[in-house]
């Protein structure tokens, strides 16, 4: 009797949930169909999964900065140098820059010096040295921050710096860093480091906000040095996990006015996560008295820091920026992403570019890091093959985690956003758009170097795949909205 009542109640709730998705939420048809199947096939487990993974954003003020704050930020950040001296770049991409600037808060800066990292050991050696030299402040924000060997080295430096009077803050995502030992973090807090957790949960393994993940990877040191890209903090990113092997990713270190924009992104996340009463106006009210100095292996570029997150208006800044890049490409489009789960707008843009004569190449991992992902990637890749897009599987003995897009030896993006629906619509992400033929060429040459240890997936080979592969692909694509 009780079980029957409970069962009927669950089915009624599931039915109401489906109607709510259809009539009250602005969802894609793929998402509605996927969740409808889950709620019908697995009514009890499905409802729990929906509460954790399927909820949409209802309160706009929770996820984006208030308009009044943006006005204040804009007022103070515009005091920094925002003039372009490179007429070539502006004349070629002024419409793209203007479109991105109008989305929310992504001002164009032209006095930026940047270095690109493709190797974890090289990157973390540089990060450790920069942290040791910090004099005033250290702001760190990561999706995954493990207190393993590399994580412990960073934490030790943070403790040392905090004791020396440097203002140190560390923000991590509750879901991404769920294996992090909170007890070990207490010693960091005791040393004076301020630690924040994004969307914390009382239950470590069950988090009703786990669908909305802070996927950003940010380091800002002394308001002068910024780091952003695909590397998280963990030993596997140094190639120490035999499951993944060598970890191929892309990250940048930069100096100049865009560092303040990245710092602003950190402060907005920190204020929301910790509720700390911060005088943001005071933080932004300074002059950029020290221009970046030329250092070895640095390239001068224009830059825009672009961030996006869950938005009830379905306005996704990073996805729109990618679409803008794809539509502007005349010669080539090279993309690297661990996930290739595209909506119709991106799929159609890539198809159109390819049949218009643009050389479109996409590189994805030769193995997946999550269930269904490899097969979902393959399904979307197969669709693009029919339109002349070239697909490459990276070395199976390594793992490709790089999130980059480069066009025409002129513009490239490097950041935290994958080429998938989750990154565009559900995760909190940040990327750097770099306007520089030098950096674009560096990124293009690295892509070509990666091709040497990758295997091209041809259309002929794809058409010969077995029935079991086709079933896995179709099943994975059906539920790709949940990945």
Q: Which residues are catalytic?
A: 215, 217, 222, 401, 403, 408
> How far apart (Å, rounded) are the C-alpha atoms in residues 455 and 378?
13
CA dihedral defined by 174, 175, 178, 182, rounded to 10 degrees? 0
Q: Which residues contact 126 (CB under 8 A, 6 or more apart)?
A: 117, 253
Cα 294 to Cα 257: distance, rounded to the nearest angstrom:
15
The CA-based diameter of the chain, rounded to the nearest angstrom, is 77
Secondary structure string (H, E, C) spanning the chain: CHHHHHHHHHHHHHHHHHHHHHHCCCCCHHHHHHHHHHHHHCHHHHHHHHHHHHCCCCCHHHHCCCHHHHHHHHHHHCCCCCCCCCHHHHHHHHHHHHHHHHHCCCCCEEEEEEEEEEEHHHHHHHHHHHHHCCCCEEEEEECCECCCHHHHHHHHHHHHHHHCCCEEEEEEECCCCCCCCHHHHHHHHHCCCEEEEECCCCCCCCCCCCCCCECCCEEEECCCEEEEECCCECHHHHCCCCCCCEEEEEEEEEECCHHHHHHHHHHHHHHHHHCCCCCHHHHHCCCCCCCCCCCCCCEEEEEEEEEECCCCCCCCHHHHHHHHHHHHCCCEEEEECCCEECCHHHHHHHHHHHHCCCEEEEEECCCCCCCCHHHHHHHHHHHHHCCCCEEEECCCCEEECCCEEEECCCEEEEECCCEEHHHHHCCEEEEEEEECHHHHHHHHHHHHHHHCCCEEECHHHHHCCCHHHHHHHHHHHHCHHHC
User: Which of 159, 92, 104, 107 minimizes the C-alpha distance to 132?
Assistant: 159
Q: Are strands 340-341 and 419-420 parallel, antiparallel or unpaired?
A: parallel
């Amino acid at each position: 009797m009780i079980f029957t009542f409970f069962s009927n109640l669950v089915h009624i709730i599931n039915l109401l949930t489906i109607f709510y998705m259809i009539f009250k939420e602005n969802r894609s048809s793929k998402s509605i169909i996927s969740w409808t199947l889950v709620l019908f096939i697995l009514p009890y487990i499905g409802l729990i999964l929906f509460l954790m993974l399927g909820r949409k954003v209802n309160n706009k003020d929770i996820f984006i900065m208030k308009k009044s704050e943006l006005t204040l930020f804009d007022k103070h950040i515009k005091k920094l140098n925002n003039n372009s001296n490179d007429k070539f770049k502006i004349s070629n991409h002024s419409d793209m820059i203007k479109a991105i600037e109008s989305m929310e808060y992504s001002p164009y800066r032209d006095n930026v010096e940047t270095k690109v990292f493709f190797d974890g050991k090289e990157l973390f050696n540089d990060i450790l040295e920069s942290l040791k030299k910090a004099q005033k402040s250290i702001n760190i924000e990561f999706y995954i921050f493990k207190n393993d060997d590399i994580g412990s080295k960073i934490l030790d430096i943070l403790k040392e710096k905090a004791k020396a009077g440097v203002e140190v803050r560390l923000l991590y995502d509750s879901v991404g860093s769920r294996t992090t030992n909170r007890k070990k973090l207490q010693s960091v807090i005791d040393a004076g480091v301020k630690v924040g957790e994004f969307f914390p949960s009382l239950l470590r393994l069950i988090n009703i906000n786990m669908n909305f993940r802070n996927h950003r990877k940010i380091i800002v040191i002394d308001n002068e040095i910024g780091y952003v890209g695909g590397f998280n903090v963990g030993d596997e990113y140094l190639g120490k996990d035999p499951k993944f092997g060598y970890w191929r990713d892309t990250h940048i270190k930069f100096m100049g006015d865009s560092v303040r924009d990245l710092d602003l992104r950190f402060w907005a996340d920190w204020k929301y996560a910790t509720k700390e009463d911060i005088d943001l106006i005071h933080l932004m009210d300074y002059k950029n008295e020290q221009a970046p100095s030329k250092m070895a292996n640095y390239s001068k570029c224009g830059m825009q820091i672009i961030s996006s997150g869950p938005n009830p208006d379905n306005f996704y800044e990073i996805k729109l920026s990618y679409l803008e890049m794809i539509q502007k490409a005349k010669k080539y489009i090279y993309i690297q992403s661990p996930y290739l789960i595209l909506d119709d707008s991106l799929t159609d843009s890539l198809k159109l570019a390819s049949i218009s004569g643009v050389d479109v190449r996409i590189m994805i991992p030769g193995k997946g890091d999550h269930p269904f992902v490899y097969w979902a990637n393959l399904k979307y890749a197969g669709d693009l093959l029919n339109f002349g897009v070239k697909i490459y599987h990276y070395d199976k003995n390594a793992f490709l985690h790089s999130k980059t897009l480069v066009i025409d030896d002129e513009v490239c993006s490097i950041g935290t956003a994958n080429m998938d629906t989750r990154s565009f619509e559900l995760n909190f992400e940040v990327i750097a758009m770099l306007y520089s033929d030098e950096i674009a060429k560096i990124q293009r040459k690295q892509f070509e170097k990666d091709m040497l240890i990758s295997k091209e997936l041809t259309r002929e080979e794809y058409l010969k795949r077995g029935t079991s592969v086709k079933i896995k692909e179709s099943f994975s694509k059906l539920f790709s909205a949940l990945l």
